Amino acid sequence: MVNAIIFDLGDVFLNKNKEAKVEAFAALGLHEWNDEHEKLEKKLETGKIDGEAFLKGLQKSMPNATLKEIKAAWNAGIDDFPLYRLEFLQKLSEEFRLFLLSNTDPIHI
């Protein structure tokens, strides 16, 4: 008998908007996400660098942007959590133990 359900949070319950992030970075002068940015993001995701080191690493590609602006651009891809999805979880919680997991980074938190 199933008594618990584990869900992923991002792009399942919490919508993401990749275009918003791309546009926010473009407004700061970053028009292409390259291999160096990918490596930097991987380091963040694996805990090899913290959020500040990540933002400072990105700043090298956007020297006129502040860390606060870069952080806002990074978070621009986080969209909404629609009410109907919350209501769905509330209904499920009447019968099951629920767990929402995420592999999000410390900046998004």
Q: Virtual CA dihedral for 65, 66, 71, 77, nearest 10 degrees?
A: -30
Establish if 106 belongs to a structural domain. no
Report residue 10's pLDDT band, with 50, 70 and 90 as the boundaries: confident
Which range of residues forms the domain containing residue 87?
4-101
Strands 4-8 and 97-101: parallel
Mean pLDDT of 34-52: 95
- Residue 11 pLDDT level (bands cut at 50, 70, 90): confident
**Encoded tokens for 25:** 């970075």
- Mean pLDDT confidence for 93-100: 95
CA within 13 Å, CB half, 38: 4
pLDDT reading at 109 higher than 90: no
Does residue 109 fall inside a structural domain? Answer: no
Please indicate, yes or no, if residue 27 is contained in any of the structural domains. Answer: yes
In-domain check, residue 74 = yes
The pTM (predicted TM-score) of the whole model is 0.84
Q: Specify if 107 maps to a domain.
A: no
Nearest CA to 72 out of 12, 38, 30, 40 is that of: 30
Position 55 scores a pLDDT of: 98
The answer to the question of residue 43 being in a domain is yes
Split into its structural domains, the chain has a count of 1
5 close to 99: Cβ distance less than 8 angstroms: yes
